[in-house]
Structure 1
Amino acid sequence: MIRSALALCAALLASVSGAATARDIVLTNDDGLTSNVVALYRALKAAGHDVIVSVPCQDQSGMGAAIRIGRPLGPLTEDCRNGAAKAGAPGAGPMTREGLATDFFYVDGTPVMALLYGLDVAAAKRWGHAPDLVLSGPNEGQNLGAIIISSGTVGNVQTAALRGIPAIALSAGSNTAGSPAAPLANPASSQVAARTVELLNALGTSEGAPLLPAGIALNVNFPSQLEGANWRRTKVGNWNAYRLRFVESMADDAPPLMQTMAEHRGVALPDLPGVAIAMNESAPAPSEQNDESAANAKDITVSALQAGYGAGGSGEWLDARLQSLAAPQRR
């Protein structure tokens, strides 16, 4: 199934053109209300799509597919990111920031909880059925290689795909984040949004046809510099652009990437233990040149993801090893 999906992606990316059929879309992320999500919403609406935005109240990066099951959401104890909602507002509902359309919703929870609100509450009220597509992102920073197992951006599309909904994870460079003076108006966000619409034009031009093969999601990563970037089919692969490690002191042991991220957010790293992220200093091997982590330096990488953990083609191998555990026949 993965092989056929890769072939389909290659054919589509060879000619990113055409006019997309209007779709019902739930747009979510793991960062909360951002310049990226606002820009993509506007680009999708301009392209004729009907869009619901449902995102976490706060930045929930690294939460993967976590869900706080059975825990009611009380009133907000602090404002949501970028003023999406104020302290004291309900734990989930329409955003109240001035200037946003009525299509924007927040959830004081994990990324997947925000997605589920979009699917089970907002979409059900708007359309009475599941959306045609779930878009997760664009994330403020790429999700490449093995790190995607902890990504809320990717956790959202896995959850949607397991419900049978076509889903695409979108991640851009950290240079797409908003500034304190203009938190929702980074010009780089509009560039990523335009290229995303370009991809959707290639994926779906037939009324009623699914955008993706069943059980397949996509992981799309935009390079930090989009000028001249081409679409490229890749694989998640073994080479990783980022490395995670536990450090005893974030202030003393955090790598340069963490220091830069902290400076961008205007915060100081504390003298406390935690998990740090660093750039991979090693070069990819020749066999790893088509890994998304390697190719993303200059191209827009598109990798097919299998929904869930089912492993195709392993049945015979497992049967052979389980034979010795078969229950003895009764006489």
Structure 2
Amino acid sequence: MASVARFLIGVALVAQPAAAMARTIVLSNDDGLTSNVKALYEALKAQGHDVIVSVPCANQSGMGAAIPLGRAFGPLGEDCRNHAAEAGEPGAGPMTRAGFENDYFYVDGTPVMAMLYGIDIVAAKRWGKAPDLILSGPNEGQNIGTIVISSGTVSNAQYAIARGIPAIAVSASASSVDDEHLANPTSQTVARLTVELVKALEERSRGQALLPAGVALNLNFPDQFDGARWKLARIGTYDAIKVRFAADRANSPDTIHGSGALPGPGLVIANNADAPRDDQKDDESVIIRKDIAVSVMQPAYDHQPSTARRIKRNLRGLLDK
């Protein structure tokens, strides 16, 4: 992974003026039609990229890599988020909200299902091939630390690189929500900076793949942008928030999502009151306190070959049977 880090450092994470190559991009997320996805779509189109948006009908945060096999697609039982499509419309297809008919698609399913619809159905029809890049997000809330295991935003990127498609998971602060106008100013800033990163990768690609094979990025923006710099980070072990099971959600003393929660057992998300250790200073949960965190991800769960060889030696007597 050291070579990947050198590659990204060489990119310098700040685009210099140059002619960018138009790319084919599938833009997905786990939130549905949002201010963030609209802003990023428009910013990418302004740079000449050919973009398909394919998102879940409803907010699917926390669904991770779920793919309910064998599920039949019937008509929508209710409107999609922000009226992307109305009740009674097919379970997947072009959005029907005025102004979103072109390039925008929805799926009444999980984040990965929506992304795969964009790749296997829409992209295959439009381009006859896989896209050059998958952008997943920008999420309404950062995906940092071990919670990425449950993130649909991150799982989309994981599925993409498993298929050999360069991918970037993008997450903004929770303050980027705007269901009334789909025009949150934070969305505009996140979109501009995300395009800046794509430009930087493009300039080093020389017309080839934007990222090395088997590599995805987890990009997280801070709550405030003043003075924020691009920083190479790692997912790490420090969690800014913790997920735990509470006996009574409504009366949990440390939950940040407990107001109005129904009494009884369930999951709560709590702030981490512990300060990070010195060896966690490069963790993205720490970096995003004031800077933009760019973490390098490998596909799925496979470990480094050197570690696998060590385990093989440790299990020599067993594996040779």
TM-score range, shorter chain: over 0.9
Instruction: Report the counterpart of residue 189 of structure 1 in structure 2.
Output: 187
Instruction: Report the counterpart of residue 120 of structure 1 in structure 2.
Output: 120
Instruction: Report the counterpart of residue 91 of structure 1 in structure 2.
Output: 91
Shift of 1:275: 1.0
Instruction: Report the counterpart of residue 4 of structure 2 in structure 1.
Output: 5
**Partners of 2:165 and 2:134 in 1: how far apart?**
7
Counterpart of 2:309, as a letter, is E
Classify 1:218/1:14 alpha carbon distance in 2 versus 1 (closer, same or farther; 3 Å). closer
* 1:293 has 2:291 as partner: no
Counterpart of 2:299, as a letter, is A
Using the aligned pairs only, state the percent identity.
Answer: 54
Shift of 1:325: 2.2
Classify 1:8/1:83 alpha carbon distance in 2 versus 1 (closer, same or farther; 3 Å). same
Classify 1:77/1:317 alpha carbon distance in 2 versus 1 (closer, same or farther; 3 Å). same
Give the secondary-structure state (helix, strand or coil) at the position aligned to 2:257. helix
Cα distance per residue 1:28-69 (max 9 Å; x no partner): 000011000000000000011000000001110111111011
Instruction: Report the RMSD for the aligned CA atoms in angstroms.
Output: 1.5
Give the secondary-structure state (helix, strand or coil) at the position aligned to 2:147. helix
Shift of 1:13: 2.8
The TM-score with structure 1 as length reference comes to 0.92
Contact 1:222 1:300 in 2 (8 A): yes
* 1:229 has 2:228 as partner: yes
Q: Which runs of 5+ in 1 are unaligned?
A: 263-267
Shift of 1:327: 5.9
Give the alignment of 1:192-271 within 5 angstroms. Answer: 192-205=190-203, 206=205, 208-253=207-252, 255-259=254-258, 268-271=260-263
Give the secondary-structure state (helix, strand or coil) at the position aligned to 1:204. helix
The TM-score with structure 2 as length reference comes to 0.95
Cα distance per residue 1:63-120 (max 9 Å; x no partner): 1111011212111111110101111111110011111141000001110000000000
Counterpart of 2:70, as a letter, is G
* 1:280 has 2:279 as partner: no
Give the alignment of 1:172-187 within 5 angstroms. Answer: 172-179=172-179, 181-182=180-181, 184-187=182-185
Give the secondary-structure state (helix, strand or coil) at the position aligned to 1:258. coil
* 1:27 has 2:32 as partner: no
**Partners of 1:50 and 1:18 in 2: how far apart?**
21
Give the secondary-structure state (helix, strand or coil) at the position aligned to 1:239. coil
Instruction: Report the counterpart of residue 265 of structure 1 in structure 2.
Output: none
Give the secondary-structure state (helix, strand or coil) at the position aligned to 1:194. helix
Shift of 1:249: 2.4
Cα distance per residue 1:96-145 (max 9 Å; x no partner): 11111410000011100000000000100110000000000000000001
**Partners of 2:81 and 2:142 in 1: how far apart?**
20
Shift of 1:12: 1.3
Give the secondary-structure state (helix, strand or coil) at the position aligned to 1:147. helix
